[in-house]
Structure 1
């Protein structure tokens, strides 16, 4: 801000306070002779006189007008500066009119000169400083407004002059007469200042003016007591006339204090009043149901029995809790209940009234009622109800319940006791079970059908048994058999004949509804198992002979190819593929190369280090850090990439294993398989560059976005994973570690298979070869097929089993498979035909596909091509995704029955139930 601008602003603003003058010297104060220094002695003469009010004063006169070349000097005593930069001189004098003096030469004057001389002390003498304009500094030539003649009374003139800036300890004033007839009546030396003032509730100290008449001196301010700054800095400008100008910044009274009548102070609120916020507002009376007896109150505490909610402003009225809801009406319909009630008589003075419904189950003995478990469904919800009606479902039959309908508002939590509530007690009736959802064919022979089904969504009691009704298609006569569990084998059927099958459940209340009719056919041939037993010796002999021939052909092919391997590795690979399947691209294991570097150079592109820029570390891998960075190659647009680094101090084997993953990825090119951009093997550190997936691993991404996607979106993710696995399977590649943690998600929710680093060979020399890989890592038991765990038979079918677990992870939004069960318990449960239940809101068709992926016989599991086709049909027919299974309770599903009593929130007890069930019941194999 320029000085000219400030001056312009000052000219527009009315001064806040008038100027104050402080005198440094006044000749009228003298009670004795002034005895100022004169030169020459015949010049100025000190005489006694009277001022305007006829008070005696000491004056100096000179009137040597008849003598030419007058140069008479008069100098005051030393005047201390007292730190001011600019001083003012007020002169009172009278001058005789030269025309009234007869017979005088032309040297008569009617003016005189004013000088000053700065000094660090009172050092002036009669001869020093010299009596001339230099070293004295001239202030001005003083001329009277009016002069007088002998016929008129003496007329007194008053003139004020200022000078500065001053820099030394003090100064002298000097008066030069060049031939006037005059009288110096009085001399007053003073300076101007801006006095202490209060503006905008801020105090500004006394401030002297600046060195120049146009100077603006900044004075910092401080808030008055009980005030706070609302804008800074606090300052006023003191101008050259000693006037305050342009206030900047302001203060305001704090809470509990209001402005005084003159708006210069902040005074406390009187008892019974308060002010909750800072500002210029006034104190107000306490709101209803509150009071204060203190001065300066910023809030009025609530009276006993009244409260403010945490979200209520401090100036709000104090309120209380509501009374209990009125006229609670219940209506029982078998195992369902309808509750309605009226608004409380007293809402507590608030508008945020809501209701809670608490369900308690009461046993027949006299023990207290306990909270209902999560299986009881209260719609629309249990807590925070605005409407006054709920429907309760999934109650147990012939059971006594107690329901509390609570009225709650914003201050109910302020009281340690329970909310106000009304109670209603009911006893449920018995209802038959609901229909069995669907029936699945697990296996068929020429005379049997092996069937499996899910229990009813609403059993409404303990399932006693199941009735299976079947008949030949087109025939009216039907037959029934009974099963104790949710699977059965129907025998004595005709070969190659279609049958219509339905299943229903029975409780003490009777049979439920049949399932929808399903068509299944028996096979044409007899039991293949018996046929195999009869022909086993012939099969073994034929297989042995065939195996010898195949081994011989493979050995011959490999020997021939190795002889021709003098050419490029690409030529070798193409020839090997011709031996296997002409026209089909086949995965080549990089560990079959004598020199692993050859595989790297064949399948991965070497990138120059200057093209890569690492920006930040985003994670850690088995071999080093994982970073986000940028890749800029000539002729290509810059792209964001993921960078895997090999940590320093690596061994040659670690380098080989690290780059092996790049050799694997480099062979793949599919939109649902992570894409390799290249490697850096000639620099340090060694780097693998892949495309960057913004949303990271699928499992953590789902947990972070729990419940945010539609089922169609989830199925779309599963379809992408299946498509990627179909591509890998078609290349004869077995992943062995398919899990949601190894699926990456980009910003468009496209899922891509990644993490190809799991060793493809198990180490038989390890302490536990069944579970430990050659890299020292554990086999992922929860995701691995049983034959892969037991016999290390990793195939595309074992990847299908893992894909079924991935489906379960996706639909459950990243929940841990088998919860907190130990690996040993998981293996035992799977071996005895226990499977994961459908996740919450899981479509029935998806869980059925999971169960097919978990078939014990690997040859019965679907291929990835069929999985992709099935998911495509589901996406085209979204209505099929709306038929969901029963609410997920966290129970393992046994293909021969369901485990009772397993609560999702108590995994330890659920594992014990699993172990007890497995020790008591022989599983029904599928």
Structure 2
């Protein structure tokens, strides 16, 4: 039968006008290009031509002066066709295990053939076979393995030509080369172009690191780690690494290189700093101009040395300016007071020139002369007192006391700064301005000193022992002071008091022969050397003991001792009782779920670490510091925004080894990135609940910052459920949801909004215990329980976010409840993507139009009704997490309540595109149908069982599906429900036949 009959001219006219343009991507390496060959292809056809029936034929045309070849076949009128077209041997690159096959082809619509539509086919098959050497013309079908069935998106009829383009993947290649083969089973096909290529990540420079061209990995390899090297004049603490994806794209660079000291980054290279500029560290920064009072005449400087006469202090950074020496203090003077003998106030003005420094301080030195006859000038030493101390003074005044009379004093005030010590070590030729000022002053006073205080030393019934202080105290023996003491009974008549006067040589006295139980008034005066009286002290009153007081004193002392013992015993009993009571009342956060209403208020409220002026303070407050030597990293389990995530072991002193997850911060981070990285630890460290991921600690005091959390063996909940589709009962799934709700109840009671609650952010351990994690988007509530946090922008997870949060960016615990409803749907649907392949815009539009996700397959009605309550438009009517926990507890205690299943529509609930193909036409093959319900992994099972038409599919029972190898309950139900949906349209099934 003619390939296209009258349409042959139309075909090649179309090709000549439009061409067959294939764009070669920068990250693709071509192994075979049928169009670019431009000559005989030498492809093998099988079987040999028999009678009038022919197999694949090559057609030649000229396109823009170039020979153009195409293979075609059109045996639609013949039954049981099996025609093969095999390529020449394709050499495989040693590191390539995955290639792409891009096809351009035309398929004739079977309805355009008169009388042949019943046996006509509209698909053909792609096969592959590996070999270590070219086998020539030898051909055995059994050596080929089917890759896929090729079906057109658009079919060609007598009037319209449609060229289809498909790209398929051939996986797991391991031998030196391979063949591709195309099998025709009765279609009318023209194969216009075949291009075989593999993807590479091109050689690139990222973050000053060179990475070689790398072949992209296969499906099983995922990300391929590639080690690079720093460019010239750059370094990295760790080897720079990057990951090559299966699509030939570079992602997650780790270990940024940085230009060496003295070099700066200029368009992916490191160039020397110009003269007059410097760079002290290996960072990503630019060279900086030399600071004040420094100079640099050479290129590539790591710092700028000080000019002559200028210095840097020990604490000054090498990158800072240099300073000169301060000039001398000004206007030094001393002030004395007649009311404070032996005391003076030194004061001065700061230096006119501080040398450009702010760390100015002063020291005061003292010498005295002439205090003793014939004595020379000597350092004052410890004989005098300074207030404040005379060293490292920051104020420009100091009080000097306890000076001796009849002495000459010389005070020297010297100014210092952080560079003073270096000035003393400088060369003698170095200019140094004067840095001290001297003042000579004398103290010559003859007034008697002042009595400052009197005190009772001892007393009995007939005597009083007294002492007193004097100021200033005598310094030398020649300055001995004499005292006059007088006393009288308090009850003497005022007009005729009787005084007793005593002249004393020392500042203490015992007065005897006094009356028992009597009050006496006493005063003391100091006498000058000429006998003059000094300033009297205030009159003080002292009383002798009575006869009875001697006996009472012993009794009182004994009583005080006994009372003190009793108070001590009662205090100990009270503390023990309170400690015991606290151990009974503080049972942990979970107790609040079963407390009385007055106990429901949480013991503490979450504190937003962003409110701290210094975020590092928040980290130290809420997280435990771990020494990095206690952490052993074992293997990479993921790559986060800030760096890699490892599984590891934490062995703290005195504790058992525990498995942990270690989040790392990649080298080359900025301070803001470090603070953002550690802020999650500041949040996690405030929580303590069995359903919240536990923070073990942080590493902040070392170069490589880390966050260490408990290790959850089963990883993220969404992926875990997809890997175990259909393996858990409804009771187990509800148990998982109860744990998540309990964790969220705890967070809401801490006045905390998560904002990113999704199954991907729930972690699962070996006991199927679920824990809330990932607090990167969370924020604190205001004091009002209904308060909200308004963001200033940024991305939000549309599929999980409440409508008021999407529209107004208002987040509350009620919006977290909406997100929890989506998590419930994810769990009951075994990790299905919410809203399937709808775009974000379509999701928002559907929600605003009151669309809600349908019940997942086998979802208990009570659970689905709770989902719908979580998705109420009015947030005030949504349940609280406490209500959700209570309801889930009731369901778990009554398993029979989970037996009633919600209504289920397979065409909506498992997102079947329809009961037909994606373009609305009937399914043309079993593989197309399986692909539409995401069960294409069972295509071979159906083929081996001989189920190759949709008519046969419609006749299958549940037992038939099991017999062909579908064992997982979830997969079994998905296929069965799809068949049930197909049966609803049996009136149109005849058009499905292949």
TM norm structure 1: 0.44
Q: Which structure features the higher share of helix residues?
A: 2
TM norm structure 2: 0.42
